[in-house]
């Protein structure tokens, strides 16, 4: 796992090597083990590539990047892992065309592109990655992000150049780049707690969408291509017997976990004691002749702690188990640094325990970790998916068939008697927007009309964004449509980014077995009736888990990692948030203070409905303080 960056100027304007190094070294935690620079300039264009290395596969200097083919015509900077690189290396070696100098997956990727072309290579590799290719012959640059968006990649494109990096802070460290707020992105963030790709909260800086590559040629012409799309996978016309799905799931899960055990350094599992993390432990234990390294974290005096379940799994599989406990002091001391590490806010309080559990893993000498992200999305493990699915079929879709005039009048009148989600549901119905917007919504569009000052209310609502996204999917199955919406927004830009940012802050590589593309492609073909059966979410995965992990773990009540924002936002943290939010210059400039004050008044007797909103605003104001109220040099905070 690494940090990459680069500059491609098709008008030949150079950037100094010192500036490139300074940008690169903003990301030292992503690659503390080594660093490299490549610069190429001719009369027509300038290219500078930088790399920070976290050595996981081939620890020798031969794995150093930037890396080139033997003839120097194709260069790469690569962040991630290709888990099937050994098989691909054997195939490439068999052609007799290539002589490998290293044992790294990066060199295999480089020659794979040379042999099969970019898209041909992307069809063959299995992994998590973000990389850039500079073709010296064609004078082109190509940026690639993995199919599910496990790894991030950001870029700035203007009239003469593209600047890209694994982290936005590296782009902002370029000598002539100044941060500015993207108003539409901020509006979306207030609803989704993340910024949907390709937007970021920084005006002019984009993030590459999952399963997409972006190419710019020597004349400055660019194109973006989606090479892998989860929407292309759906249940077949004829279903398989249930047991066939179970057996194939087990095979693919074993294959995925096994792939992610490829490493030249120690590896382990983040263990909560839920189905997903316990499966990771069980399938890893099958293949090891030593104890699995497992890690758990809890919040002091919090009933959400899952230590009892994690310890049960650890004892069952005889793991080498490690635990840590955090409290309010840990939250408050870390929050300002979190804003810097995230680049743009990822408003999920789980970021805090992920940071500390990653630190625990690093301190105990385990730099590679398997995590359970993605399972609840592809197997429909959230009860809310099924509630929204039922409400949509029974009430919402029939309501949409009523005359538009009636729906518009009902929406107008609702503002006098309803608030929050119910009011916004009627507003969405009046505009034929979807009922489901995401599994974690902070502020509904109707609430933001009171929260934000008028000049900062864009014309495109968050519900319209989801409506357009659904239209692009072309999927009729309502549960599968919910899953696909999550795979396009919340999973890559919130859940995966919270893990990437917080683990890489501790130089930890996290791997996601449930998002192996072979497993995801198959899971998306499983009928919805087997994902929610007999009132049980994630039914088919639980059936596949039986016999692999204890039934008591499978059948226990689902609980989020470290609970939810309701329990994490303690009274002390809420007061800390109140002070930071109400004193913020961003709040004074863009928000109606009375609406923000009312939020804290409501929190006193309705914590459940207001905690996430407060956390959302707290993350936003800390981000603004970090990037707009102090210089970048001041933001490089000590660990």
**Residue 490 neighbours by CB under 8 Å, 6+ apart:** 192, 194, 377, 438, 439, 440
Answer left, alpha or beta for residue 382, where phi above 0 means left and psi between -120 and 50 means alpha: beta
The Cα-based distances of 386 to 142, 481, 538 in angstroms read: 40, 12, 11
Which tokens go with 507? 């130089």
In the β-sheet with 212-216, what is the strand arrangement from edge to edge? 67-68, 74-82, 127-135, 140-145, 212-216, 222-226
The 8-class DSSP code of residue 491 comes to: I
Count of helices and strands (H, E) across the chain = 30, 19
Q: Of 132, 130, 135, give the one whose Cα is nearest residue 72.
A: 135
Distance CA 4, CA 9 (A): 17
Distance CA 527, CA 513 (A): 21
SS3 of 380-393: CCCHHHHHHHHHHH
Catalytic residue among 2, 26, 351, 446: 2
Q: Of 551, 552, 523, 555, give the one whose Cα is nearest residue 536.
A: 555
In the β-sheet with 320-326, what is the strand arrangement from edge to edge? 320-326, 293-299, 267-270, 368-370, 509-511
If one counts every other C-beta atom within 10 angstroms of the C-beta of residue 404, the result is: 12
Q: 81: exposed, middle or buried (C-beta count within 10 Å: 0-12, 13-18, 19+)?
A: buried
**What string of DSSP letters covers 366-416?**
--EEE--TTHHHHTT--HHHHHHHHHIIIIIHHHHTS-HHHHHHHHHHHHH
Indicate the helix (H) or strand (E) that contains 210.
none
2 has catalytic annotation: yes
102 and 70 Cβ atoms separated by less than 8 Å: no
Distance CA 100, CA 88 (A): 12
Answer left, alpha or beta for residue 569, where phi above 0 means left and psi between -120 and 50 means alpha: beta
Q: Which residues are catalytic?
A: 2
């Amino acid at each position: 796992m690494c940090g990459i960056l680069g500059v491609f100027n098709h008008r030949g304007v150079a950037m100094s090597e010192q500036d490139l190094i300074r940008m690169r070294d903003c990301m030292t935690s992503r690659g503390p083990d080594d660093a490299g620079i490549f610069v190429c300039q001719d009369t027509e264009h300038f290219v500078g590539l930088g790399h920070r290395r976290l050595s996981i596969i081939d620890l020798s200097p031969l794995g150093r990047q930037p890396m080139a083919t033997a003839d120097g015509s194709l260069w790469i900077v690569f962040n991630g892992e290709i888990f099937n690189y050994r098989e691909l290396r054997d195939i490439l070696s068999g052609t007799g065309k290539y002589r490998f100098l290293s044992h790294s997956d990066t060199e295999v990727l480089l020659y794979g592109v040379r042999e099969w072309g970019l898209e041909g290579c992307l069809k063959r590799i299995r992994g998590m990655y973000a990389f850039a290719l500079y073709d010296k012959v064609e004078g082109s640059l190509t940026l690639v992000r993995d199919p599910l968006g496990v790894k991030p990649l950001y870029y700035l494109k203007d009239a003469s150049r593209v600047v890209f990096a694994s982290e936005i802070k590296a782009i902002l460290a370029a000598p002539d780049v100044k941060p500015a707020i993207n108003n539409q992105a901020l509006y979306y963030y207030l609803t989704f707690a993340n910024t949907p790709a390709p937007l970021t909260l920084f005006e002019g800086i984009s993030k590459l969408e999952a399963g997409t590559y972006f190419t710019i040629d020597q004349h400055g012409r660019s194109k973006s291509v989606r090479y892998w799309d989860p929407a292309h996978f759906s249940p077949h016309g004829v279903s398989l017997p249930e047991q066939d799905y179970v057996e194939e799931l087990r095979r693919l899960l074993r294959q995925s976990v096994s792939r992610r055990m490829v490493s030249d350094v120690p590896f382990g599992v983040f263990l909560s004691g839920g189905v997903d993390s316990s499966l990771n432990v069980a399938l890893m234990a099958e293949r090891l002749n030593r104890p699995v390294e497992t890690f758990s974290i809890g919040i002091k005096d919090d009933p959400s702690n899952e230590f009892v379940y994690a310890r049960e799994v650890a004892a069952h599989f005889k793991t080498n188990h490690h635990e840590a406990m955090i409290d309010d002091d840990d939250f408050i001391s870390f929050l300002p640094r979190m804003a810097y590490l995230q680049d743009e806010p990822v408003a999920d309080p789980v970021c805090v325990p992920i940071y500390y559990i990653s630190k625990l893993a690093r301190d105990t000498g385990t730099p590679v970790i398997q995590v359970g992200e993605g399972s609840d999305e592809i197997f429909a493990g959230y009860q809310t998916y099924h509630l929204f699915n039922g409400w949509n079929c029974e009430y919402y879709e029939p309501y949409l068939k009523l005359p538009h005039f009636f729906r518009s009048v009902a929406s107008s009148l609702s503002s006098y008697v309803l608030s929050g989600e119910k009011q916004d549901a009627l507003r969405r119905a009046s505009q034929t927007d979807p009922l489901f917007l995401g599994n974690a919504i902070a502020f509904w569009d109707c609430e933001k009309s009171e929260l934000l000052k008028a000049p900062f209310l864009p014309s495109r609502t968050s519900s319209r964004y989801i409506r357009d996204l659904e239209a692009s999917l072309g999927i009729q199955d309502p549960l599968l449509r919910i899953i696909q919406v999550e795979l396009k927004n919340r999973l890559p830009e919130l859940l995966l980014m919270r893990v990437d940012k917080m683990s890489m802050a501790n130089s930890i590589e996290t791997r996601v077995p449930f998002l192996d593309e072979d497993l995801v492609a198959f899971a998306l073909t499983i009928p919805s009736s087997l994902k929610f059966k007999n009132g049980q979410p994630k039914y088919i995965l639980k059936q596949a888990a039986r016999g692999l992990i204890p039934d008591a773990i499978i059948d226990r009540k689902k609980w989020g990692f470290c609970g939810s924002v309701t329990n994490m936002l303690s009274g002390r943290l809420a007061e800390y948030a109140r002070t930071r939010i109400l004193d913020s210059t961003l709040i004074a400039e863009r928000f109606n203070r009375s609406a923000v004050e009312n939020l804290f008044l409501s929190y006193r007797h309705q914590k459940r409905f207001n905690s996430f909103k407060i956390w959302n605003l707290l993350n936003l104001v800390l981000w603004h303080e970090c990037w707009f109220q102090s210089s970048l040099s001041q933001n490089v905070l000590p660990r």
